[in-house]
Structure 1
């Protein structure tokens, strides 16, 4: 029994020592996705159909909250000490929702968080949400493959790939984050126009 107790004490000591040498979690500056002030919805009659906006699918490197950078071809990294307030697919979905609300031509909007009934669903895959270096300067790249789906039949009524770029004014993280906001706003504006047009044609 005495020997067994010695092993227990020794094991506890080793565990405590191991805990003290484990690396500490990296402190992060958390960033919201910047947005320009959206224009007020125009006084027009809203479309007679509803739309649900789903969170985009994404690969492993884009599905988290770290800010992704590709400093050179085929090498994916993240900005040290910086992260998003939400995973990138959530940021993109919420920016799309905000843009549709501000536009006003589709009033009956929901997201996949609620799973409410809707005539159409905007489904998509986020192919890029990162900064890439060109001639030593960062440029934000956002690519989204979108599909407009008739929810009753699950038929894809329209599809399109969107690709937006926005150069950062500096290599510092806050300036890169601002460029992400610019690219996301441009993406959202294009997606709104396309969705309104294709949804009306599919009715």
Structure 2
């Protein structure tokens, strides 16, 4: 009886091993960071603090997929590639890095830390994708509805829509990622200058 049970167990183990060997292999995924090419600033520091919040985003843009609109209103993603973080976190960290490189606002924090700040910057991310245009032209589109909020009262002080379009020289994923980096550099510069100007007017 014991010998029979051992044979049955061995046969089951071998069966599982052979079944595992015929399962399809998972597709390799390339993980991309968002490129940064923003020089450091040398302006005098300002005497107030800023907290950056992750922007709200639709379900299609809330994950780490590298989104693309190949035609019409079809939102897809590049196969075998994704961002290093979910897109809202990627954008917040890029803006945070941009403010740090700019140097004018030195007392910075992010919403993960939940620290009190004089002002808060947040909003909605409406677009973060590449789009195919006429004649096969491709461009990166970033659309960010920013809100500057007073820290203690949570009163909205200012809001503005930022839209950046960065033409691409090709449609391969590394080229697309480089385009996202250039577009994010533009967005960071515009948002930083606007935030500083709005806070100075308060």
Aligning the two structures, in what range does the TM-score lie when normalised by the shorter sequence? 0.7 to 0.9
Displacement of 1:115 in angstroms is 1.1
Question: In the alignment, what sits opposite 2:62?
Answer: 63
Offset from partner CA, 1:66-96 (integer Å, 9 cap, x none) = 1000001110110011111111111111111
Please name the residue that 1:54 is paired with. Answer: 53
Match of 2:41 in 1: 41
Residues in 2 aligned to 1:156 and 1:22: alpha-carbon distance in whole angstroms: 54
- Structure 1, unmatched stretches of 5+, are 1-8
Show the 5 A alignment for 1:41-190: 41-44=41-44, 46-135=45-134, 136-190=136-190
Whether the aligned pair in 1 keeps the contact of 2:52 and 2:121 (CA below 8 Å) is yes
Q: Deviation of residue 40 (structure 1)?
A: 2.4
Aligned equivalent of 2:5: none
1:185-196 to structure 2, matched below 5 A, reads 185-196=185-196
Alpha-carbon displacement from aligned partner over 1:29-64 (angstroms, at most 9, x marks no partner): 11111111x3222141x2221000011111111011
Q: Tell me the TM-score normalized by structure 2.
A: 0.87
- From the superposition, tell whether residues 20 and 94 of structure 1 become closer, same or farther in structure 2 (CA, over 3 Å): same
Report the RMSD for the aligned CA atoms in angstroms: 2.1
Question: 1:23 Cα shift?
Answer: 5.5
The answer to whether the 8 Å contact 2:56/2:125 transfers is yes
Measure, in 2, the Cα distance between the counterparts of 1:159 and 1:143.
13
**Cα distance, 1:57–1:24 mapped onto 2, change above 3 Å:** farther
Is the 2:43–2:104 contact (alpha carbons within 8 Å) kept by the matching residues of 1? no
In structure 2, the partner of 1:32 is 33
Unmatched segments (≥5 aa) in structure 2: 1-8
* 2: CA distance, partners of 1:56 / 1:18: 45
Residue-pair matches, total: 191
